[in-house]
Amino acid sequence: MKIYPYTSQTLRELGVRSWINARNWSTNIGGNWLDDRVLSAMNEVAKTFVDMHELQAKVDVKVAKLCKADEAHVTIGAGASIEMAVAGCMAMNDFGKWNSIPQTNTMRNEVLLPRGHNINYTPQWSAAGAKTVEYGIAGTLRSFKKELEAAITEKTCCLAYTFSYNNVPRGIIPFEDIVEIGKKYQLPVVVDAASELPPVSNLQKFLDLGADIVCFSGGKAIQAPNNTGMLLGKGKGVSIIKAIRAHTFPNYGWSRGHKISKEQLIGFMVALDIFIKEGDQKYEHQYRMAEYLLDQLSGISGVIATIIPNDGNHFEHNMMPKVPRVKLEWDKQELGISAEDLDHWMQKDNPPVFLRNIHYYNYYNNLEWRLIDTYFLRSPEEEIIVERILQFFQQGSK
Long-range contacts of 123-126 (CB under 8 A, 24+ apart): 124/79, 124/82, 124/83, 124/192, 125/82, 125/86, 125/160, 126/86
Domains located in the chain, CATH noted: 9-31+280-395 (3.90.1150.180), 36-277 (3.40.640.10)
pLDDT at 363 over 70: no
Burial (CB count <10 Å: 0-12, 13-18, 19+), residue 145: middle
Confidence of residue 138 (pLDDT cuts 50, 70, 90): low
pLDDT at 361 over 60: no
Percent of the chain with pLDDT over 90: 84
Q: What is the model's pLDDT at position 397?
A: 46
DSSP class of residue 28 equals G
Mean predicted confidence (pLDDT) in 250-261? 93
- Separation between Cα atoms, residue 101 and residue 244, nearest integer Å: 13
CB–CB of 2/387 below 8 Å? Answer: yes
Q: What is the model's pLDDT at position 1?
A: 56
Q: What is the model's pLDDT at position 118?
A: 85
pLDDT at 336 over 70: yes
pLDDT digits (tens, 9 = 90+) for 184-203: 999 999 999 999 999 999 99
261-to-38, 143, 273 alpha-carbon distances in Å: 14, 46, 19
Q: What is the model's pLDDT at position 4?
A: 87
Q: Which of 203, 207, 205, 204 is nearest to 217 (CA)?
A: 203
Burial (CB count <10 Å: 0-12, 13-18, 19+), residue 74: buried
Query: Omega into 114 within 30° of 0, i.e. cis?
Result: no
Mean predicted confidence (pLDDT) in 122-141? 89
pLDDT at 143 over 80: no
pLDDT at 244 over 70: yes
Mean predicted confidence (pLDDT) in 246-272? 96
Q: Please, where are the H alpha helices in the chain?
A: 9-14, 36-46, 52-67, 78-91, 95-100, 144-151, 175-184, 202-208, 236-247, 262-278, 282-297, 332-335, 339-348, 381-395
Please tell me the total number of residues recorded for the chain in this structure.
398
Q: What is the model's pLDDT at position 173?
A: 84
DSSP class of residue 173 equals P
- Separation between Cα atoms, residue 91 and residue 356, nearest integer Å: 40
Mean predicted confidence (pLDDT) in 34-59? 98
CA of residue 41 relative to chain centroid, distance:
23
pTM: 0.94
Percent of the chain with pLDDT over 70: 96
CA angle 17, 23, 27 (to 5 degrees): 70
Q: What is the model's pLDDT at position 165?
A: 87
Q: What is the model's pLDDT at position 278?
A: 97
Q: What does residue 134 show for φ and ψ, rounded to 5 degrees?
A: -85, 150
Mean predicted confidence (pLDDT) in 139-148? 80
Stronger pLDDT, 142 or 265, i.e. the higher one: 265
CB proximity list for 391: less than 8 A, separation 6 or greater: 345
- Separation between Cα atoms, residue 324 and residue 147, nearest integer Å: 38
Q: What is the model's pLDDT at position 124?
A: 96
Mean predicted confidence (pLDDT) in 314-336? 93
Average the pLDDT over each of 74-88, 136-150, 297-311, 382-396 and give the range with the smallest value.
136-150
Q: What is the model's pLDDT at position 247?
A: 97
